[in-house]
Amino acid sequence: MQTSTRPNLVGASRAELAALLGDLDPRPYRAEQVYRWLNRRLAGCAVEMTNLPKALREGLAMRAVIADPEVLEVRRGGEGTAKFALAYPDGAVVEAVAMPMEGHTTLCLSSQAGCAVGCVFCVTGILGAGRNLTGGEIFGQYRRIMRHEGLVGTPVNVVFMGMGEPLLNLAGVTRAVELLSETVSPRRVTVSTSGIVPGIARLAELERRPKLAVSLNATTQEQRERLMPVAARWTLEELLAALRAFPLERGRRITFEYVMLAGINDSLDDARRLPRLLRGIPCKVNLIPLNPDDRYLSGYRAPDEQTIDAFAGVLAAAHLNVTVRWSKGRDVAAACGQLRGQVLGERAAP
C-alpha cells in the first residue's frame, strides 16, 4: 500500500482542519464544510467538495490526503453478506462485514488488528494480538464500505464485533463513535465486550452511550475461565455487578451473546443457571451456534438443533428474551469468530 507524508484528513477534528486550512482560508465555516464532507457525505477526495472554491480544493489536495484502508479482497455470500479484508499503510490487516437486513444494512467493524483476549472459540483470538486502531482508522472502515457498496445516505447499524476487544481500545472506539454520530445515531451502534470491567465502567460515563453487548458464553466462573482467559482477570461476579450498575435509557437492554459449544456449555443445567445469573438485568440473549473452522478450531463443534431448541426453551420459559442467531456470512467465513483467519492464512500460505 502506497503511503504519503501528507496528513490524512479521515478522523481529523474540526480544530485540526481549521489549522490545516490556515492561510488557505481561515474562515471557520470552511473547516466546518470540509468536516461535513468527510464525515457526513464521506467524500473520497477534495475534488468532490463542490461547494468549496476550486483554489481551496486544489490547495487542500496538495496539503493532505483522504485515505481509507485499501480493499485487499471482498468475499460475497449467498445472503448478500460481503466480507472485506482491509489493509492499512503499515501492513496491518483487518476484516469488516456488510450484512443486508430488513430495512437497513449492518456493518461489523474491527477495533484492533488482532485480539489479545484469546477466547478458545474465536479464530481472531487464536491468531493473537495486534495493535489498536485509531478512531480515524476505524471510521475509515465505515467510509470504505459505505462508498464501495453504494450505501451512502442509506440507513445502517454499526456493531463493534469484528476483530479485537473494543474496550481495550476505548479511546479509538469512542472517537470512532463520535465520528459515526454525524450519520449514525449512537442508538444504532453496539459495542461488544468479552467482559473488560473497567472499560464497562468508563463506557457508562459517556454522555451519549452506544448500546452494550457482552460475550458471556458460560454460566460458571470455572467454565468461563476455560473458554475465555479474560475471566481470570475479571470474574463473572465482578462482570455482572458492573452490568447491573450500567445506566440504561428507557427501552434499552444489554445483549448477552452466548456461543454454544457442543458438550461444553450447552446442557440444560447451563440453561437453568443462565436466568438466575441475569436476574435483575434488562437484557436479551443471543444464542450463537459455533461457527466451525477445521483449520483453527478443530475439536469444537456446534450443538445439534434439538439441543439448541431445548436450551432456548428453558430460557424462554424463564421469561428471558432469547433468539438463536445463525450468523450471516458463514459461507464466506464472515460469521462471528471467523474474522481474519482465512484471508491472513491464505496470504501466509506458500
**Which of 115, 119, 283, 336 is an active site residue?**
336
Does residue 182 carry a catalytic annotation? Answer: no
Residue 291 pLDDT grade (very low, low, confident, very high; cuts 50, 70, 90): confident
Q: Which amino acid is at 37?
A: W
- In terms of pTM, does the model score above 0.85? yes
Tell me which H or E stretch contains 55: helix 54-63
Q: Tell me what percent of the chain is helix, strand and coil, each rounded to the nearest 5.
A: 40, 20, 45
Task: Quote the Cα angle for 132-174-156, to 5°.
Answer: 100
Query: How large is the average pLDDT for residues 20-27?
Result: 93
Band (pLDDT 50/70/90 cuts) for residue 337 is very low
Rg, C-alpha atoms of the chain: 21
Please tell me the distance from the alpha carbon of residue 316 to that of residue 335, in angstroms, as a whole number: 25
pLDDT of residue 350: 31
Mean pLDDT of 85-104: 95
Q: Where are the domains of the chain?
A: 14-63, 70-348
What does CATH list as the number for 70-348? 3.20.20.70
150 pLDDT exceeds 50?
Answer: yes
Say whether 336 is catalytic.
Answer: yes
Report percent pLDDT > 70 for the chain: 92
Report the candidate in 218, 221, 212, 207 with the shortest Cα–Cα distance to residue 246.
Answer: 212
Confidence of residue 296 (pLDDT cuts 50, 70, 90): confident
Query: Of residues 58, 95, 238, 249, which has the active-site annotation?
Result: 95
**Phi and psi based region of residue 42 (left: phi greater than 0; alpha: psi -120 to 50; beta: remaining):** left
At residue 343, the pLDDT reads 55
pLDDT tens for 211-265 read 999 999 999 999 999 999 999 999 999 999 999 999 999 999 999 999 999 999 9
Which among 89, 168, 80 has a CA at the least distance from the CA of 124? 168
CATH architecture of 14-63: Orthogonal Bundle (1.10)
Q: Is the Cβ–Cβ distance between 217 and 227 less than 8 Å?
A: yes
